[in-house]
Amino acid sequence: MALPPLDSPQWQSPWRAFAWGLRSITQTILTVVLFVTYLGIGALAHDTHFSLIWALCSTLFVWAGPAQIILITTLGSGATIVQSAIAVTVSAIRLFPMVVSVLPLMRTPKTKRRELIFAAHLTAVTLWVECHRFLPQVPRERRIAFVHGLGCGLVSVCLTANTVGYFLAANLTQTLGAAILLLTPLSFLFSTARNSREVADVVALTLGILLYPLAAKMNSGLDILVSGTVAGTIAYGVHWWREVRA
Nearest to 152 by CA among 59, 67, 51: 59
Radius of gyration of the chain, Cα coordinates, nearest whole angstrom:
20
d(CA 130, CA 136): 11
- Measured from the CB of residue 189, what is the shortest distance to other proteins in angstroms? 5
- Measured from the CB of residue 222, what is the shortest distance to other proteins in angstroms? 11
Of 128 and 134, nearer to other proteins (C-beta) is: 128
18: how many CB neighbours lie within 10 A of its CB? 20
- Measured from the CB of residue 132, what is the shortest distance to other proteins in angstroms? 13
Of 81 and 246, nearer to other proteins (C-beta) is: 81
Report angle CA 53, 59, 63 to the nearest 5 degrees.
Answer: 155
- Measured from the CB of residue 10, what is the shortest distance to other proteins in angstroms? 29
Of 3 and 64, nearer to other proteins (C-beta) is: 64
Of 20 and 63, nearer to other proteins (C-beta) is: 63
CA distances from 46 to 26, 52, 154, 186 (A): 28, 7, 22, 18
